[in-house]
Amino acid sequence: MSGTISSEKVDLLIYGPIRPILENGFSDQFVLHTAESRADLERLTPDTSAKIRGMAVTYHSVPADKKALAQFPKLEIIASFGVGYDHVDSTYAREHNVIVTNTPDVLTEEVADTAVGLLLATVREFYDAEKWLRDGRWPKEAEYRLTASLRDRTVGIVGFGRIGKAIARRLEAFGLPVS
């Protein structure tokens, strides 16, 4: 009958470093299991593995590869926390009708801000200049030498997805051509 909610609890696996929001974020409709590492995953009993229907992969350092996924015959969905899902064997998932999700755009703007900040810091040698100052060299050896500038340069971006476009918008605000 459509529209009815099953009283059966769904078994979910949290795979990777545990985040408090996950431990407390699921309703009592679910039975939670955890495996912070591959070794923990391999210690799950066959009975437990046979019941798992969903997997939350919390970090890219834990591989959700064929070996990891094959032990869950009822797996229906893998939710990868973060932008990408290259640590998830999407070919295996597709072949076994397992849905793979991720969270695009969550950190796009922050990553773009960081990339532009690092670009400016690198070209202008902020780290070296700050070290020069903190080491007390400024009063002894004169001012830090002049550094390069982004003026009259073109910035190339490899990969023009969400993050690449966000970086380009920031650089264009500086009047820099982007290619």
pLDDT tens digits along 56-104: 998 878 889 999 999 999 999 999 987 778 889 999 999 999 999 988 8
What amino acid is encoded at 101 in this protein? Answer: T
Query: Is 1's pLDDT higher than 60?
Result: no
Average pLDDT over residues 7-11: 86
Cα–Cα distance between 81 and 96 in angstroms, integer? 21
Per the model's pLDDT, the better-predicted residue between 142 and 38 turns out to be 38
Do the beta carbons of residue 11 and residue 34 sit within 8 Å? no
Q: Does domain 10-101 have CATH number 3.30.830.10?
A: no
- SS3 of 105-161: the string is CCCHHHHHHHHHHHHHHHHCCHHHHHHHHHCCHHHHHCCCCCCCCCCCCCECCCCCC
Task: Put residue 77 in one of left, alpha, beta given phi > 0 → left and psi -120 to 50 → alpha.
Answer: beta
Residue 29 CA to chain centroid, in angstroms? 27
pTM for this prediction:
0.67
> CB neighbours of 35 closer than 8 A, spacing ≥ 6?
13, 14, 15, 16, 41, 43, 44
- Every domain of the chain with CATH number 3.40.50.720 lies at 10-101
Per-residue pLDDT band at 105 (split at 50, 70, 90): confident
Angle at alpha carbon of residue 176, lines to 128 and 107, rounded to 5°: 75
Query: Is 148's pLDDT higher than 80?
Result: yes
